[in-house]
Chains A and B, each alone.
Chain A
Protein backbone atom coordinates (compact mmCIF):
# COMPACT_ATOMS: atom_id res chain seq x y z
CA UNK A 1 0.00 0.00 0.00
CA UNK A 2 1.07 3.59 -0.57
CA UNK A 3 3.02 5.04 2.33
CA UNK A 4 4.49 8.49 2.76
CA UNK A 5 6.54 9.12 5.89
CA UNK A 6 7.79 12.62 6.65
CA UNK A 7 10.69 13.47 8.93
CA UNK A 8 12.86 16.44 9.79
CA UNK A 9 10.41 18.73 11.53
CA UNK A 10 11.29 20.53 14.73
CA UNK A 11 11.76 23.88 16.41
CA UNK A 12 13.90 26.54 14.73
CA UNK A 13 14.50 30.23 15.26
CA UNK A 14 13.39 32.83 12.72
CA UNK A 15 15.95 33.07 9.95
CA UNK A 16 17.00 29.48 10.43
CA UNK A 17 16.86 26.50 8.10
CA UNK A 18 15.33 23.06 8.14
CA UNK A 19 15.22 20.18 5.68
CA UNK A 20 12.19 17.94 5.53
CA UNK A 21 12.31 14.47 4.02
CA UNK A 22 9.59 12.15 2.82
CA UNK A 23 10.15 8.44 2.28
CA UNK A 24 7.76 6.94 -0.25
CA UNK A 25 6.84 3.30 -0.73
CA UNK A 26 4.13 1.11 -2.23
CA UNK A 27 4.08 2.78 -5.65
CA UNK A 28 6.39 3.72 -8.53
CA UNK A 29 7.69 6.96 -7.02
CA UNK A 30 9.48 8.05 -10.19
CA UNK A 31 6.17 8.19 -12.09
CA UNK A 32 4.36 10.70 -9.88
CA UNK A 33 4.43 14.38 -9.23
CA UNK A 34 4.84 15.15 -5.54
CA UNK A 35 3.61 18.07 -3.45
CA UNK A 36 4.08 19.62 -0.05
CA UNK A 37 0.97 21.02 1.63
CA UNK A 38 1.02 22.73 5.01
CA UNK A 39 -1.48 23.53 7.74
CA UNK A 40 -0.86 26.11 10.42
CA UNK A 41 -2.21 25.24 13.88
CA UNK A 42 -6.01 25.53 13.85
CA UNK A 43 -6.03 26.81 10.27
CA UNK A 44 -6.85 25.51 6.81
CA UNK A 45 -4.74 23.81 4.17
CA UNK A 46 -2.19 25.71 2.11
CA UNK A 47 -0.54 24.29 -0.97
CA UNK A 48 3.21 25.01 -0.86
CA UNK A 49 5.05 23.44 -3.77
CA UNK A 50 5.12 20.70 -6.41
CA UNK A 51 7.82 18.84 -8.32
CA UNK A 52 7.36 16.86 -11.51
CA UNK A 53 7.90 13.12 -11.68
CA UNK A 54 11.37 13.60 -13.17
CA UNK A 55 12.36 16.58 -11.04
CA UNK A 56 12.61 18.95 -14.00
CA UNK A 57 9.69 21.22 -13.12
CA UNK A 58 8.76 22.89 -9.85
CA UNK A 59 6.26 25.48 -8.73
CA UNK A 60 5.86 27.38 -5.47
CA UNK A 61 3.35 29.52 -3.64
CA UNK A 62 4.56 33.12 -3.66
CA UNK A 63 5.07 33.25 0.11
CA UNK A 64 7.87 30.65 -0.02
CA UNK A 65 9.36 31.23 -3.45
CA UNK A 66 13.07 31.99 -3.14
CA UNK A 67 13.23 30.57 0.40
CA UNK A 68 12.06 26.97 -0.05
CA UNK A 69 13.39 24.40 -2.53
CA UNK A 70 11.68 21.14 -3.41
CA UNK A 71 13.75 18.26 -4.75
CA UNK A 72 13.59 14.51 -5.16
CA UNK A 73 15.85 11.50 -5.44
CA UNK A 74 14.07 8.88 -7.49
CA UNK A 75 16.81 6.33 -6.84
CA UNK A 76 16.01 6.54 -3.13
CA UNK A 77 12.24 7.13 -3.40
CA UNK A 78 12.63 10.31 -1.41
CA UNK A 79 11.18 13.81 -1.56
CA UNK A 80 12.76 16.79 0.15
CA UNK A 81 11.88 20.33 1.17
CA UNK A 82 14.77 22.64 2.00
CA UNK A 83 13.43 25.57 4.00
CA UNK A 84 15.66 28.63 4.47
CA UNK A 85 15.08 32.06 6.01
CA UNK A 86 12.21 30.62 8.03
CA UNK A 87 9.58 32.97 9.40
CA UNK A 88 7.17 32.63 12.30
CA UNK A 89 4.34 32.34 9.77
CA UNK A 90 5.92 29.17 8.33
CA UNK A 91 4.92 27.34 11.52
CA UNK A 92 2.70 24.46 10.41
CA UNK A 93 2.31 20.74 9.93
CA UNK A 94 3.91 19.92 6.58
CA UNK A 95 2.39 17.08 4.58
CA UNK A 96 4.10 15.13 1.82
CA UNK A 97 1.44 14.35 -0.76
CA UNK A 98 1.28 12.29 -3.95
CA UNK A 99 0.10 14.05 -7.08
CA UNK A 100 -0.71 12.85 -10.54
CA UNK A 101 0.97 10.19 -12.63
CA UNK A 102 3.22 12.08 -15.05
CA UNK A 103 1.15 15.20 -14.32
CA UNK A 104 2.11 18.39 -12.55
CA UNK A 105 -1.39 19.79 -12.14
CA UNK A 106 -3.51 17.17 -10.40
CA UNK A 107 -5.54 16.31 -7.37
CA UNK A 108 -3.52 14.78 -4.57
CA UNK A 109 -4.56 11.36 -3.39
CA UNK A 110 -2.21 10.03 -0.70
CA UNK A 111 -0.99 12.05 2.27
CA UNK A 112 1.71 11.42 4.85
CA UNK A 113 1.00 11.84 8.56
CA UNK A 114 2.70 15.23 8.56
CA UNK A 115 5.69 16.71 10.38
CA UNK A 116 5.44 19.79 12.60
CA UNK A 117 7.70 22.76 11.94
CA UNK A 118 7.71 25.42 14.64
CA UNK A 119 9.48 28.71 14.02
CA UNK A 120 9.82 30.56 17.30
CA UNK A 121 12.23 33.15 18.76
Chain B
Protein backbone atom coordinates (compact mmCIF):
# COMPACT_ATOMS: atom_id res chain seq x y z
CA UNK B 1 0.00 0.00 0.00
CA UNK B 2 1.13 3.57 -0.69
CA UNK B 3 1.32 5.77 2.43
CA UNK B 4 0.83 9.52 2.06
CA UNK B 5 2.37 11.96 4.55
CA UNK B 6 1.50 15.66 4.59
CA UNK B 7 3.52 18.45 6.12
CA UNK B 8 3.12 20.53 8.07
CA UNK B 9 0.13 19.27 10.05
CA UNK B 10 -0.80 22.83 10.97
CA UNK B 11 0.24 25.99 9.13
CA UNK B 12 -0.41 29.48 10.43
CA UNK B 13 -0.45 32.20 7.80
CA UNK B 14 -1.90 35.61 7.02
CA UNK B 15 -4.15 36.90 4.25
CA UNK B 16 -1.99 37.68 1.24
CA UNK B 17 0.73 35.16 2.10
CA UNK B 18 2.06 32.64 -0.37
CA UNK B 19 1.96 29.16 1.17
CA UNK B 20 3.13 25.73 0.09
CA UNK B 21 1.79 22.46 1.44
CA UNK B 22 3.73 19.24 0.90
CA UNK B 23 2.62 15.65 0.37
CA UNK B 24 5.11 12.78 0.29
CA UNK B 25 4.42 9.27 -0.94
CA UNK B 26 6.01 6.06 0.32
CA UNK B 27 6.35 4.84 -3.29
CA UNK B 28 7.06 6.72 -6.46
CA UNK B 29 4.36 7.37 -9.02
CA UNK B 30 3.72 9.86 -11.75
CA UNK B 31 1.00 12.45 -11.25
CA UNK B 32 -1.84 10.26 -9.95
CA UNK B 33 -2.44 12.74 -7.16
CA UNK B 34 -5.31 14.99 -6.13
CA UNK B 35 -5.73 17.79 -3.61
CA UNK B 36 -8.94 18.54 -1.71
CA UNK B 37 -10.08 21.38 0.53
CA UNK B 38 -12.43 20.72 3.43
CA UNK B 39 -14.15 23.25 5.66
CA UNK B 40 -15.68 22.31 9.03
CA UNK B 41 -18.95 20.42 8.71
CA UNK B 42 -18.72 20.26 4.91
CA UNK B 43 -17.76 17.66 2.35
CA UNK B 44 -14.35 18.02 0.71
CA UNK B 45 -13.96 19.90 -2.55
CA UNK B 46 -11.64 18.80 -5.36
CA UNK B 47 -9.01 21.44 -6.17
CA UNK B 48 -6.32 19.73 -8.25
CA UNK B 49 -6.07 16.37 -10.05
CA UNK B 50 -3.28 14.69 -12.00
CA UNK B 51 -0.95 16.59 -9.64
CA UNK B 52 -1.23 19.90 -11.47
CA UNK B 53 -4.57 20.20 -13.32
CA UNK B 54 -6.89 22.76 -11.81
CA UNK B 55 -10.47 21.55 -11.35
CA UNK B 56 -13.05 23.68 -13.15
CA UNK B 57 -14.20 26.62 -11.05
CA UNK B 58 -11.21 26.58 -8.69
CA UNK B 59 -9.42 29.95 -8.42
CA UNK B 60 -6.12 30.24 -10.25
CA UNK B 61 -4.26 31.16 -7.04
CA UNK B 62 -4.21 27.39 -6.38
CA UNK B 63 -1.57 25.37 -8.18
CA UNK B 64 -0.11 21.92 -7.86
CA UNK B 65 3.18 20.37 -8.86
CA UNK B 66 5.42 17.39 -8.33
CA UNK B 67 5.90 13.79 -9.33
CA UNK B 68 7.66 10.75 -7.93
CA UNK B 69 7.35 10.91 -4.17
CA UNK B 70 6.98 14.64 -3.50
CA UNK B 71 4.03 16.82 -4.43
CA UNK B 72 3.10 20.37 -3.47
CA UNK B 73 0.01 22.55 -3.35
CA UNK B 74 0.70 26.28 -3.52
CA UNK B 75 -1.71 29.09 -2.78
CA UNK B 76 -0.20 32.23 -4.28
CA UNK B 77 -2.04 34.82 -2.18
CA UNK B 78 -4.15 33.57 0.69
CA UNK B 79 -7.72 34.75 0.84
CA UNK B 80 -9.99 34.59 3.93
CA UNK B 81 -11.98 31.75 2.29
CA UNK B 82 -8.84 29.59 2.00
CA UNK B 83 -8.48 28.83 5.69
CA UNK B 84 -9.46 25.17 5.83
CA UNK B 85 -7.97 21.69 5.95
CA UNK B 86 -6.26 20.32 2.84
CA UNK B 87 -5.83 16.66 1.93
CA UNK B 88 -3.80 14.96 -0.75
CA UNK B 89 -4.84 11.60 -2.20
CA UNK B 90 -3.03 9.16 -4.43
CA UNK B 91 -5.04 7.14 -6.93
CA UNK B 92 -2.17 5.29 -8.54
CA UNK B 93 -3.16 2.06 -6.82
CA UNK B 94 -5.71 0.72 -4.37
CA UNK B 95 -6.30 1.51 -1.58
CA UNK B 96 -6.53 5.13 -2.76
CA UNK B 97 -4.92 6.61 0.34
CA UNK B 98 -5.29 10.12 1.70
CA UNK B 99 -2.73 12.09 3.63
CA UNK B 100 -3.58 13.01 7.22
CA UNK B 101 -4.31 16.62 6.27
CA UNK B 102 -2.82 20.08 6.72
CA UNK B 103 -4.89 22.58 8.68
CA UNK B 104 -4.34 26.11 7.41
CA UNK B 105 -5.02 28.59 10.19
CA UNK B 106 -5.15 32.36 10.36
CA UNK B 107 -2.08 33.81 12.05
| Interface residues in chain A, defined as those with a beta carbon under 8 Å from any beta carbon in chain B | 35, 44-47, 50, 59-62, 95, 105-109, 111-114
Contact = CB atoms under 8 A, between A and B. Distances in A.
B98 A114 contact: no
Given A44-B87, A111-B43, A112-B43, A105 B98 contact: no
A105 B55 contact: no
Interface residues of B, number: 25
Contacts, number: 54
Main secondary structure, interface of A, reads loop
B60 interface: no
Contact of B93 (A62, A95, A105): A105
Given A95-B43, A111-B45, 7 more contacts: A45-B44, A45-B101, A50-B94, A50-B96, A59-B95, A111-B44, A113-B43
Given A111-B43, A112-B43, A113-B43, A47 B96 contact: yes
